[in-house]
Structure 1
Amino acid sequence: MAPYMSFSVAVFIIVSCGLMDICSAGNFNQEFDITWGGSRAQILNNGEVLKLSLDRASGSGFQSKNEYLFGKIDMQLKLVPGNSAGTVTAYYFSSQGPTHDEIDFEFLGNLSGQPYTLHTNIFTQGKGSREQQFRLWFDPTINFHTYTILWNPRQILYTVDGTPIRVFKNLESSGIAFPKNQPMRIYSSLWDAEDWATRGGLIKTDWSQAPFVASYQNFVADACIWSSGTSSCASGVANKAWWGQDLDSTSEERIRWVQKNYMIYNYCTDAKRFPQGFPPECSVA
């Protein structure tokens, strides 16, 4: 059964870029740097497509030229097809340092014909362990699909093809840290994690299938660019629909529906992992 969307959710998710100084749309040559893997990472079609590959010698990765502090950022991915067991395609936002903040999408490979696992996590002040995992309700290797992070002072919202799947709310009033002061770059990598990625490491990488390839297109950042200690959202941010966005009751219902039908792991229900009690946001939220 595929997730459903009402018109109100579509309006919430689809936000057009407004002010030019805080919106950038998709040329990989202009927006990203290849950071490792050499020729295994390629920017093609005059910057419209980026491909990462993994072979037995190395994976590959890239990062954004810009740092961002809040925004709505879309990326379309087409994941490694066939037997991708042991591989991880990571797409995430991160600041730097031991007290870094981070917002993660990680796609864990699978044996051919089995569903991908979408692994999500959030770090605040260097502390993570907030994993939620989902089975995707489609084959993410046939076509491109849109993975979105909406990050504002109120919440972090994950969506897949416009369907909200997870929210992490700002609960600072309850003493829970929230990412709001450290600008983040966007990173992505394709790498070998056969020791844990597929069925906890039981299924190893089949290198006869290499090279493994993941593709990217249609990057859109309707976001606040951070430069020299100043945000481009210093003025005009009131015009950005995502800035003060909270979830309405319909969107919260969609998240509950997705989590009921497609969530396979939630740290807030893993009593063996937290014998002294769950993290505070589990009960407050």
Structure 2
Amino acid sequence: MAVLQEIVVLGLLVLCMAASVSAHSRHSHYTPPPNVIRLTDVFSRVSIGREYSTFFGGSNTKLLNNGSVANLALDKSSGSGLASRNKYYYGFFSAAIKLPSGLSPGVVVAFYIITRTTMMRLISSFLGHDQRNDWVLQTNVYANGSTGTGREEKFYLWFDPTEQHHHYSIIWNSHHVVFLVDNIPVREFGHSSSYPSVYPSKPMSLYATIWDGSQWATHGGKYPVNYKYAPFVVSFAEMEMTGCVFNQTAIVTSCSMANPSSLDPVDGPEFVRLSKRTKLRQWIGQEGSSCSTPTVTIDQGSR
């Protein structure tokens, strides 16, 4: 296992150029994923009712199973969303998500971390599908409030995300940021002292939302949300938030990005290294149809 130390670059917009692929043809030859460390089993799950508050669309938000599951809906009246009660300097953030079934063009489901002061964003978004395409996973990295200094990438998943819950996770520590799907890393960018301003270093909040993205989400807005099929319901479960909780009254945060220590919960070897890197690249290239590069994407600097 090699430690990945590539430098993050924020400034390249990757356009989706993939051809239409039917859900049946993509999933009919599915092979099991490679064995990886299940980081989602390392930390305990949180109560959504205790750790999150309503962000918007309260009437479209339902908590189930004693607050361990949240169903968020989009209808003509509104979308809906949750926001974490705490802010974090960094951590491991994960949710098991089951996307809305049926035709869902224009629907956007997002699981993301953001700071509104400097507009640093780490986003996993799911873009609704039409009759020809599956749901698309889109990862975004924005710095300093500008999409011109960010990077966006899209690719198709190697399974039907509407049939059952799948884990979508974000690792954010002093070494790198990694996006994972079912514990498999699909995108990574590293922290470099040469580019400190473009690496997330401010306390951020976690959000889970569903909303109308008709203007851009599906084929650039060609297919808007059809509310004939509403409500569109997404299920969030097995949510995890572990990291350095921001304490506004503390002068120095013991586990801040500037002062990592062995006590930091997501600074261990399993969070610094991505195991079986070559095998993962080969497997994702076979099973996931990427709109940019069908591999584990590693952002590099000085392009």
TM-score (norm 1): 0.82
1:206 Cα offset (Å) = 1.3
**Pairwise CA distance, 1:136:** 0.7
Name the counterpart of 2:34. Answer: 5
Displacement of 1:25 after TM fit? 2.7
SS at match of 1:188: strand
How high is the TM-score relative to the length of structure 2? Answer: 0.77
Distance 1:167 1:54 in 2: 31
Look up the match of 1:56.
Answer: 76
1:159 counterpart letter in structure 2: L
Q: Is the 8 A contact 2:88 2:245 kept in 1?
A: yes
Contact 1:75 1:219 (8 Å CA) reproduced: yes
Q: Flag the 1:184–1:283 CA change in 2: closer, same or farther, 3 A.
A: closer
Are residues 3 and 123 of structure 1, via their aligned partners in 2, closer, same or farther at CA, if it must alter by over 3 Å?
farther
Structure with the larger RCO, 1 or 2 (CA within 8 Å, 6+ apart): 2
SS in 2 for 1:258: helix
1:117 is aligned to 136
Mapping for residues 184-263 of structure 1, pairs under 5 Å: 184-230=204-250, 231=253, 233=255, 237-240=261-264, 242-244=266-268, 245-248=271-274, 250-251=276-277, 253-255=279-281, 257-258=283-284, 261-263=288-290
Aligned AA (2:33): Y
Identity %: 31
- Structure 1 residues 33 and 71, CA gap change in structure 2 (3 angstroms): same
For each residue in 1:131-185, what CA deviation from the matched residue of structure 2 results, as whole angstroms up to 9, or x when unmatched? 01110111111101111101101100010001110001113325662112x1110
Find the aligned partners of 2:255 and 2:84 in 1 and give their Cα distance: 18
The secondary structure found in structure 1 opposite 2:292 is: strand
Point out where structure 2 has 5 or more consecutive residues left out of the alignment: 1-29, 294-298
User: Does 123-132 or 134-143 show the bigger shift?
Assistant: 123-132
Equivalent pairs, count: 260
Whether the aligned pair in 1 keeps the contact of 2:73 and 2:210 (CA below 8 Å) is: yes
Write the distance in 2 (CA, Å) between the matches of 1:5 and 1:153. Answer: 27
Instruction: Pick closer, same or farther for the CA change 1:15–1:70 going to 2, 3 Å.
Output: farther
Q: Secondary structure at the match of 2:291?
A: strand
Change (3 A) 1:15 1:223: farther
Task: From the superposition, tell whether residues 14 and 88 of structure 1 become closer, same or farther in structure 2 (CA, over 3 Å).
Answer: closer
Contact 2:34 2:279 in 1 (8 A): no
Q: Does 1:264 align with 2:291?
A: yes
Deviation at 1:264, TM superposition (A): 0.6
Compute the displacement of 1:238 (Å).
1.2
SS of equivalent residue, structure 1 residue 10 = coil
Which residue of structure 1 aligns with residue 27 of structure 2?
none
**Using a 3 Å threshold, how does the CA distance of structure 1 residues 226 and 133 change in structure 2: closer, same or farther?**
same
More helix by share: 1
* Runs (4+) off by over 3 Å: 229-237, 281-285
The residue aligned with 2:21 is none
The letter of the residue matching 1:264 is C
- On the 8 A contact 1:82/1:112 being kept in 2, the answer is no
Partner SS state of residue 83, structure 1: coil
Calculate the aligned-residue CA RMSD, in Å. 2.6
Q: In structure 2, do the counterparts of structure 1 residues 152 and 249 end up closer, same or farther at CA, with 3 Å as the change threshold?
A: same
Q: Tell me the equivalent position of 1:272.
A: none
Alignment correspondent of 1:73: 93
8 Å CA contact 2:255, 2:264 repeated in 1: no
Letter in 1 for 2:65: N
Change (3 A) 1:49 1:15: closer
Bigger shift: 202-211 or 160-169?
Answer: 202-211
After superposition, the Cα gap between the structure-2 partners of 1:215 and 1:153, relative to the gap in structure 1 and judged at 3 Å, is: same
